[in-house]
Structure formats: C-alpha cells, structure tokens
Amino acid sequence: MDALEKGAATSVPAPRGRPSRGRPPKLQRSRGAGRGLEKPPHLAALVLARGGSKGIPLKNIKRLAGVPLIGWVLRAALDAGVFQSVWVSTDHDEIENVAKQFGAQVHRRSSETSKDSSTSLDAIVEFLNYHNEVDIVGNIQATSPCLHPTDLQKVAEMIREEGYDSVFSVVRRHQFRWSEIQKGVREVTEPLNLNPAKRPRRQDWDGELYENGSFYFAKRHLIEMGYLQGGKMAYYEMRAEHSVDIDVDIDWPIAEQRVLRFGYFGKEKLKEIKLLVCNIDGCLTNGHIYVSGDQKEIISYDVKDAIGISLLKKSGIEVRLISERACSKQTLSALKLDCKAEVSVSDKLAIVDEWRKEMGLCWKEVAYLGNEVSDEECLKRAGLSAVPADACSGAQKAVGYICKCNGGRGAIREFAEHIFLLIEKVNNSCQK
C-alpha cells in the first residue's frame, strides 16, 4: 500500500493554528455557496514557489534527479485526478515557465506576499482573493519530491466524503527527546518521552507523529478566519520513505537517491529497458570536430561514457548509436565501442522504430539520449529519455531527465546509472 492509516479526527469548537501576520484581505464567498448541490466543491491544488529562496537560489526549479524540484509534486497533483485545478503561486518568470511546462496554471504573486517575512497563509489568502470558485485549498509543498498521487487521493476523500475541515500530513518517527538546557544554566536535562530506566526497543514503541510539511488541506471558511488547521481536523500519515523535505544543499544528494528509489514517475508502470539509443554528436562527443592536416576527422569522448556503455551491455541492454551527420567508418571503428551505428540519418524516429520492431520491443523498453531538435520525437516516444545538460531547449522540454553532465563529458555514464536505479525499482516492484 502506498498510503498508511489516517489519523483519528479531532473536532474542536473553534479553529486552532497559526494566523498570518497582519490582517488578511477580506474574502468573498465562493460562488455557488449555499445553492444546494449544484456542483461538487472546487478543490484546488496550490504550490507556493517564491523565486527568492535564502538557502538555495531558485531552489524550486533546481534539477533533482533530472527533474525540476517543483515538477515532482506537480506530476503527483495532476495525476491524482482529484483537483479541479492545479496552480503555482510565484513571483518569478522562470518558475512560471516550468510550472506551465508541467501543465499547471500560474497565479502571479504580489510583491507584498513575496517577502521573506510573508507566510504561506498570506499567499493562500491572496490566491483565494482572486479565485472565488475555489472552495478547498490543497497547499502542497514544492519541497516534497516523493509525494505520490495516492496520498492526495486519500486526503481528498477525507475532506469531501468524510467531512473534515482540514487535513495535514505527518510522519512517524522513533526519536527520544530531551529537555534543552541553556548555556550557563546549571540544570540537568530531563527525558520528555521516555523512561531511561526502561528504554523501549524500536519494535516495542509506536513512536510519535510529526508534521512533515508535505501538504495542508483546508476549507475556504477556515482560511477566511486566518487558519490552515482547525475545525474538524485529521492528520494523514505518510510513509517514512516518502517523507523528504529539501531545506539545505546538503540534503540534495540524499534526496536524489531517495526520489530515484521511492519517487513517483508517472501513471504508466516502468518497464525494464532493453535498448539505449544515443546520438553521437553532442551526447557521446561534445560536438567538436577536429580536422587533421591530411583532412581526417578527429573526435573525442570521455572514458567514463565508454565505461557506462560497457556496463549497460554487460547488464543485457543493447546500445546503438545514431547521427544525422556522415561520420566516417574509420572514426566509428576507432572508438572501439562495439555498437551498431547508423549515420547520415534524416529521420531518426524511423530508424529507431525499425530497431525497436527488429528487437520485438515496445517503446517503453527503449531509452534515448539526444540533444538536438532532430531528437525530439524519439525523446517523446521513448519509455525513458534524457539529454545532456547543454542540450538545446527544445530537446530539454521533451524529456523526463536532464543530466548534470554535458555531452561528451560523462552524460552517458550518468544516464546509465539512472537506468540501473530504475531497473532496480522495477525489479523491487515485481517482487512485492
């Protein structure tokens, strides 16, 4: 199961929570309120993504495992199928472009709600002020890349079907807490949640629930009163491996490994890759061509990429090369990669499709590494696609993974490692 148990409801006479700083602008009632059952309540997903992150510049669109950070939660929200609309609230043009690329609508946040001192509630209040149609807000944190659609589906059901006014995400932790002692004060620390004389084993202790910040769902009337948590409340417990929050740069490598293993990669099930097709110029090489005095063509490639190709072949993945340029046979032979290659190709999609049929594969079993406009159709069709960091913008928009390495500088090896991790994910899912 992707989702764990939901928490017991707590009904309180008045909402509790942290109000926004200052008095929020007056909100109008949602259209259709009080008109009976004309329409189901409008549930909007809202991701807040300022451009001015103090910790990591433009953190919200920094690449995490080849995908802009905000892209992971947008994919989950859109695929959940429970939101009437999915929005990103931002003050930055680049974040707006990425949000639209993933299929979200954009609310341009004002300078007043984009300050370091602005709260999430301030930004949500502003959003609602412009969207009378919204009855419920699902505030999803951009920094939670392991969020899955199933989590959002369960919470939407709790709000719509079970009558909760607010639901927020938590994670279970097994951590013993002790009282803090101020420097210079002669006191002894005290245990807060354990008896040191009878320390429980992990398996004998249920642990404690902590907010993990992945999402906060609240009905409009609560937000109008200045609260995100209150009324008839419930928590939703997420799996520990799905609870990832990006706060500082040191978390980034850890989060990448976590998201590759436990992240959500889309509606269609992953298939094991059987064929990798790689563009020669700009992927295997850096695109530079040198000509010797006797007019012979000279190109270079990175030994790391040759090792990557070798590892792929040893794991049973066929590797083939393609180029629209007329690469000489002597040059390809000198590379000593032992890969079938097709050059002077005017229609790459036709060639790759022919190779796919020849091997009896579906497109989901094909991986493609390209870098040019001529690669876009193959990148869109392949089950797994990637581009080097220096690929053209059109190719970048067509893929699911953008390498950190440039073409001819380790991109193939990096993509190979990504493929191996996904194969491991496929194998693990088959064993469950």
CB of 15 closer than 8 Å to CB of 232: no
Whether the predicted pLDDT of 317 surpasses 50? yes
Query: Which structure tokens are listed for 170?
Result: 């938590």
Q: What is the residue-averaged pLDDT of the chain? A: 84
Res 38: pLDDT: 63
Confidence of residue 84 (pLDDT cuts 50, 70, 90): very high
Q: How far apart are CA 106 and CA 90, in angstroms?
A: 7
Confidence of residue 40 (pLDDT cuts 50, 70, 90): confident
Res 415: pLDDT: 93
Using the CB atoms, write b or e for 65-80: b if 16+ within 10 Å: bbbbbbbbbbbbbbbb
Q: How far apart are CA 339 and CA 332, in angstroms?
A: 9
Query: Which structure tokens are listed for 38?
Result: 């004309």
Report which of residues 260 and 350 the model is more confident about: 350
Active-site choice (35, 199, 201, 239): 199
Lowest mean pLDDT among 34-43, 112-121, 380-389: 34-43
Confidence of residue 279 (pLDDT cuts 50, 70, 90): very high
Distance of CA 13 to the CA centre of its chain: 38
Query: Per the confidence metrics, is the pTM higher than 0.85?
Result: no
Q: How far apart are CA 231 and CA 427, in angstroms?
A: 44
Reduced to 3 states (helix: H, G, I; strand: E, B; else coil), residue 41 is coil
CB of 151 closer than 8 Å to CB of 45: no
Cβ neighbours for 109, distance < 8 A, ≥ 6 positions apart? 50, 89, 90, 91, 123, 126
Res 116: pLDDT: 81
Q: Which tens digits make up the pLDDT trace of 202-229?
A: 788 888 899 999 999 999 999 999 999 9
Cα 317 to Cα 273, 277, 285, 308, 321: the distances in Å are 7, 10, 21, 11, 13
Whether the predicted pLDDT of 23 surpasses 80? no
Res 6: pLDDT: 42
Res 247: pLDDT: 67
Dihedral angle over CA of 375, 376, 380, 381, nearest 10: -40
Dihedral angle over CA of 6, 176, 214, 262, nearest 10: -90
Domains of the chain in start order, with CATH, are 43-262 (3.90.550.10), 275-431 (3.40.50.1000)
199 part of the active site: yes
Whether the predicted pLDDT of 15 surpasses 90? no
What integer is the mean pLDDT of 188-199? 88
Dihedral angle over CA of 322, 324, 330, 336, nearest 10: -20
Q: What is the DSSP letter of 28?
A: P
